[in-house]
Amino acid sequence: AQKTQVTSMFGADHLWKKGYTGAKVKMAIFDTGIRADHPHFRKIKERTNWTNEDTLNDNLGHGTFVAGVIAGRNPECLGFASDTEIYAFRVFTDAQVSYTSWFLDAFNYAIATDMDVLNLSIGGPDYLDLPFVEKVWEITASNIIMVSAIGNDGPLYGTLNNPADQSDVIGVGGIDNDDHIASFSSRGMSTWELPHGYGRVKPDVVAYGRDIMGSKISTGCKSLSGTSVASPVVAGIVCLLVSVIPEARRKDLLNPASMKQALVEGAAKLSGPNMYEQGAGRVDLLESYEILKSYHPRASIFPSILDYNDCPYSWPFCRQPLYAGAMPIIFNTTILNGMGVIGYIESPPTWHPANEEGNLLSIHFKYPDVIWPWTGYLALHMQIKEEGAQFTGEIEGNVTVKVYSPPASGESGPRRSTCSLQLKLKVIPTPPRAKRILWDQFHSIKYPPGYIPRDSLDVRNDILDWHGDHLHTNFHIMYNMLRDAGYYIETLGSPLTCFDAQQYGTLLMVDLEDDYFPEEIEKLRDDVINTGLGLVVFAEWYNVDTMVKMRFFDDNTRSWWTPVTGGANIPALNNLLASFGIAFGDKILNGDFSIDGEQSRYASGTNIVRFPAGGFLHTFPLLDSSESGATQNLLLTEASKEDPAVLGLLEIGEGRVGVYGDSNCLDSSHMVTNCYWLLKKMLDFSSSNIKDPVLFSKFAKRYSPVIIDEKQLPSRRTDVNFSTYSSVIGKELICESDSRFEVWGTKGYNLHVRGRNRRLPGYHGIDLGRGLNFTVESKRPTRWRSAKEGGELSSSRSKSLGGLFNRDEIDMPFLVPTRWIVLAGVVASGVLVLLSIWRIRQKRGRRRRASGSNRLA
């Protein structure tokens, strides 16, 4: 392993020569402690112990190493800032045990003793540990710059650790000495915004974290790897940078936001990794030094650009252009406000297109009322307007937003700053229906807070389902594969009533844990049978006996943990699929099988126990490892065993349905073998009615239905309060801001309304309203207006959205006047006329209908 001095790789000696060595910087190291008389350190100012062990010493080596990287002065393992004052907070025992309460005590003491910088080479997946998260806010609000390791759960995505995933914390990822992202470094995006929002770009920056030299427990140096090492590299750099600013001016200029601005603006973007792997890029000490030297308090947006031409950095955005009719594309940026701990958005953000085509873009903004502490979010929800349905090209422009903070002491007026975010987007014409897939994110439940068990029971060291189950986290390879195969994939973060089935070839439902509203079940039935929507379901194991046995007492939380559902929620899925005569069972099947020359591993999947005649059903000799199944394996003779069905394909009404009992083969987290080939064949069928000769062989055809008594179907757990974790049980059905703008805050595409008007009621309604100078609401069917009035759009922020609409009204007629007038004309001539045309078309078949809507578009 290469053991170059990490300080020289960042050019720290340039600052040392200028006399900057971290003097008078109070550096809090939350770790395993340190020995008092350690020869590597000049200034161990104080050691405190917050654990239940009666020692201040480090007996593990972690805390000493971290301190060494920051401030060690042994020539073999030099740290960045040898004059930094070390305050060692011992919050981990020798056995690596720690509790939230110890942290809270230690954080309070760090605030009381007025620390400048705090390093946490520590993290975990629970971003919902509110006492901890709120205390971290208090730390940063107290103007302590917190640097934290992003986590060692890479190369999987959706593995960010808390608190490094917080916007007020500097989250540090690790790179190898050759500037590749270290395999262990956790990848973004943050997952707490799901399902209605989209994850934040994290880590913020990356630094060397493999085979770095640091101090050993009592003397000497050793090498260590991990984001535990990358974090103190940045913390050491921060200490150096703090010491650059004269002591008297530090508290005025330096804060968690200004330091993050200096780091991300100075960072060197690496070619290769995407923004959810590297953030702003590799820390550049000297660039950040230059930025800080001339720094004036200001606000900025991170990332400051979204460029669809910059691939792979802009992955996943650059993998799929925008087009009209799609679910909004959400870009979740962070506002860094170096002007003050508290800040406000002065007026709604505005979009300034650089060219005429830019007016085809409609953006809705989401942001908090108060920007605190030092940071906040600004989420862009972007849609291409209907007039852009045939547009191919690029859209460029800037989003600007004015931020202000109350005056600092001695100042008379508030501090103001205008931040800018540059957009360079690619737009294509709306793809044909058969190429469009909708991914159901809404019905996915993850840890935290619930014990959502892992999907493959073979995986024993990672017992929780915590990677987000998103197209851009643990399903990102599947996403890339589908894009390569020519499909366009959109995300649905709201209930199934919130999308227009006419737009999509297939609804893809993978590994879902939540329940379904009755309205969703009813609409999906209609979507498939009458609207010809394809439905592809990848389920997971569900066995109550096994779940009960998976209960365990957790020492950390001092409580019993019991799975709230199986790998998937089979009773709920069975409710949904009952319309199609399909149900899953409670087996937990494992084994290898081969179909059409493709080897596959079935890893803890379920079985199909109900299936209609006329469909195609595939059975394989797989082993049941559920509690009851294992017993049966022993009791039953070979002859009486029937191979379980795991794959089914069915035509029903206008639509087509494909079901498979295991999602492990699509999930990058713990995949054994992939089954992208199977997914593609199922999509060929569901979207385009292309029947693979093997999947649709006559041997697989069912001439009689597979039936099972209702009582034998898996049932819900009655001993778990599922509503705690569900977005459905005990909740109101509502389309959130991930859905198309026109149904925000409504119940969506309501079945009864659609019966009379098969058009897309939402956005045609808007176009109609604008053209005739009606208000949007006045033309909407009452069904969904009523929900909307209580919804978010009627809040104070809706005024800004209204303002956006108004702008569009002015721009639009000039842009595409002809098409716009035709559209308005047709619609205005009578909704009822369209209705009768629709009825006729339906009888003539699907193809005509599709061409009809193209003409209108």
Partner 1 sequence: MDVRESISLQNQVSMNLAKHVITTVSQNSNVIFSPASINVVLSIIAAGSAGATKDQILSFLKFSSTDQLNSFSSEIVSAVLADGSANGGPKLSVANGAWIDKSLSFKPSFKQLLEDSYKAASNQADFQSKAVEVIAEVNSWAEKETNGLITEVLPEGSADSMTKLIFANALYFKGTWNEKFDESLTQEGEFHLLDGNKVTAPFMTSKKKQYVSAYDGFKVLGLPYLQGQDKRQFSMYFYLPDANNGLSDLLDKIVSTPGFLDNHIPRRQVKVREFKIPKFKFSFGFDASNVLKGLGLTSPFSGEEGLTEMVESPEMGKNLCVSNIFHKACIEVNEEGTEAAAASAGVIKLRGLLMEEDEIDFVADHPFLLVVTENITGVVLFIGQVVDPLH
Q: Does the footprint of partner 1 cover residue 557 (CB under 8 A)?
A: yes
552 lies in the binding site for partner 1 (CB under 8 A): yes
Judged by phi (left if over 0) then psi (alpha if -120 to 50, else beta), residue 437 lies in: beta
Which contiguous run of DSSP H or E holds residue 552?
strand 552-554
Residues 107, 58, 186: CA angle, nearest 5 degrees: 65
Stretch that binds partner 1, among 93-101, 506-514, 522-530, 845-853 (CB under 8 A): 93-101
Could you say whether residue 64 binds partner 1 (CB under 8 A)?
no
At its nearest, how many Å lie between partner 1 and the CB of residue 545? 9
- Rounded distance between C-alpha atoms, residue 428 and residue 394, angstroms: 9
Closest by CA to 442, choosing from 492, 382, 402, is 492
Name the residue nearer to partner 1 (CB basis): 10 or 92.
92
Residues 433-472 as x/- pattern, contact with partner 1 by CB under 8 A: ------------------x-----xx-xx-xx--------
Task: List the Cα angle 570/572/577 in 5-degree steps.
Answer: 85
| 438's tokens | 């909708």
DSSP class per residue in 692-758: -TTTT-GGGB-SS-B---GGGS----SSS-GGGT-SSTTS-----TTS-GGGTTS--S-HHHHHH--
Q: Which of 161, 190, 300, 503 binds partner 1 (CB under 8 A)?
A: 161
Grouping H, G, I as helix, E, B as strand and the rest as coil, residue 797 is: coil
d(CA 199, CA 470): 10
Query: Is there a contact between 267 and 246 (Cβ–Cβ < 8 Å)?
Result: no
Burial class from Cβ neighbours inside 10 Å (0-12, 13-18, 19+) for residue 698 reads: exposed
- Contact between 687 and partner 1 per CB under 8 A: no
* Interface with partner 1, residue 312, by CB under 8 A: no
Given the complex with partner 1, which of 200 and 587 has the nearer CB atom?
Answer: 587
Map residues 178-197 to x or -, x wherever contact with partner 1 holds by CB under 8 A. ----x-x-------------
Q: How far is the CB of 252 from partner 1 (least distance, A)?
A: 33
Is 168 a catalytic site residue? no
Distance, CA of 769 to CA of 806 (rounded, Å): 12
Minimum distance from CB of 801 to partner 1 (Å)?
A: 39
Regarding 165 and contact with partner 1 (CB under 8 A), the answer is no
One of 41, 87, 92, 404 touching partner 1 (CB under 8 A): 92
Q: Taking contact as CB under 8 A, which single stretch among the options 82-90, 117-125, 398-406, 489-497 is the one that binds partner 1?
A: 117-125
Residue written as token pair 């940078």: 241
Smaller CB separation from partner 1, 558 or 698: 558
CB count, 10 Å around CB of 418? 13
Q: Tell me the window of 9-17, 91-99, 653-661, 737-745 that interacts with partner 1 (CB under 8 A).
A: 91-99
Any bridge partners for residue 420, and if so which?
400
Cβ–Cβ under 8 Å, residues 145 and 118: yes
Half-sphere CA count of 310, side-chain side, radius 13 A = 14
CB of residue 459 to partner 1, shortest distance in Å: 9
Q: What phi, psi does 330 have (nearest 5°)?
A: -105, 130
Strand partners, 603: 590
Between 436 and 587, name the residue whose CB sits nearer to partner 1: 587
| 3-state per-residue secondary structure call for 166-213 | CCCCEEEEEECCCCCECCCCCCCCCCCCCCCCCCECCCCEEEECCCEE
Residue 775 CB, nearest approach to partner 1 (Å): 51
Phi, psi of 32 (to 5 degrees): -100, 15
Told to check if 593 binds partner 1 by CB under 8 A, we report no
- Residue among 449 and 781 whose Cβ is closer to partner 1: 449
Reading the block at residue 41, the tokens are 């350190």
Contact 400, 354 (CB under 8 A): no
Among 2, 18, 95, 247, binds partner 1 (CB under 8 A): 95
| Position 152 contacts partner 1 (CB under 8 A) | yes
Task: Tell me which of 234, 588, 589, 608 binds partner 1, using CB under 8 A.
Answer: 588
SS3 state of residue 145: strand
In the bound state with partner 1, the residue whose beta carbon lies nearer, of 559 and 818, is: 559
- If one counts every other C-beta atom within 10 angstroms of the C-beta of residue 578, the result is 15
Regarding 813 and contact with partner 1 (CB under 8 A), the answer is: no
- Closer by beta carbon to partner 1, 342 or else 464: 464
105 touching partner 1, by CB under 8 A = no
Site membership for partner 1, residue 213 (CB under 8 A): no
What are the two backbone dihedrals, phi and then psi, of residue 358, each rounded to the nearest 5 degrees?
-60, -20
DSSP 566-613: -SS-HHHHHHHHGGGT-EE-S--EEEEEEETTEEEEEEEE--EEEB-T
828 lies in the binding site for partner 1 (CB under 8 A): no
**Range in contact with partner 1 (rule: CB under 8 A) among 386-394, 607-615, 624-632, 764-772:** 624-632
Applying CB under 8 A, does 662 fall inside the site for partner 1?
A: no
In terms of CB distance, is 82 or 162 closer to partner 1?
162
Nearer of residues 165 and 357 to partner 1, judged by Cβ: 165
The binder of partner 1 chosen from 2, 4, 96, 347 (CB under 8 A): 96
Rama region for 653: left / alpha / beta (φ>0; ψ in -120 to 50; rest): left
Specify the residue, 183 or 392, whose C-beta has the smaller distance to partner 1.
183
- Is residue 51 a contact residue for partner 1 (CB under 8 A)? no
Identified catalytic residue from 121, 148, 185, 228: 228
Number of residues that bind partner 1 (CB under 8 A): 56
Q: Residue 560, interface with partner 1 (CB under 8 A)?
A: no
**Helix axes 256-266 and 227-244, enclosed angle (nearest 10):** 110
Instruction: Say how far apart CA 295 and CA 666 lie, in whole Å.
Output: 48
Closer residue to partner 1 in complex, CB, 223/757: 223
Decide if residue 231 touches partner 1 (CB under 8 A).
Answer: yes
Least separation in angstroms between residue 393's CB and partner 1 is 45
CA dist., res. 533 & res. 687, Å (int) = 8
Q: Is 595 helix (H, G, I), strand (E, B) or coil?
A: strand
Q: With respect to partner 1, which residue has the nearer C-beta, 8 or 557?
A: 557
Residues from 118 through 137 that contact partner 1 (CB under 8 A): 121-126, 129
Q: Does the active-site annotation cover 62? A: yes
Among 556, 795, 836, 851, binds partner 1 (CB under 8 A): 556
Question: Angle at CA 73, nearest 5°, toward 68 and 77?
Answer: 60
Candidate segments 322-330, 365-373, 542-550, 808-816, binder of partner 1 by CB under 8 A: 542-550
Selecting among 38, 40, 58, 62, the annotated active-site residue is 62
DSSP 56-98: -S-SSSHHHHHHHHHH---GGG--S-TTSEEEEEE-S-TT---
Residue 533 near residue 501, CB atoms below 8 Å: yes
- Strand segments, DSSP code E, in 246-311 are 299-302, 305-307
Closest to partner 1 by CB, 102 vs 351, is 102
Phi/psi of residue 162, nearest 5 degrees:
-95, 145
Determine which residue in the list 6, 147, 149, 238 makes contact with partner 1, applying CB under 8 A: 149
Q: Is 228 a catalytic residue?
A: yes
Fill in the per-residue mask, 473 to 512: x = in contact with partner 1 (CB under 8 A), - = not in contact.
----------------------------------------
Among 210, 364, 385, 747, binds partner 1 (CB under 8 A): 210
Q: Which position among 194, 224, 649, 675 is part of the footprint of partner 1 (CB under 8 A)?
A: 224
- Write out the residues near partner 1 by the rule CB under 8 A: 31-32, 60, 62, 65, 92, 95-96, 98-100, 121-126, 129, 149, 151-152, 161-162, 182, 184, 209-210, 224-229, 231, 451, 457-458, 460-461, 463-464, 543, 546, 549-550, 552, 554-557, 561, 588, 604, 625-627
- Tell me which residues are annotated as active site: 31, 62, 228
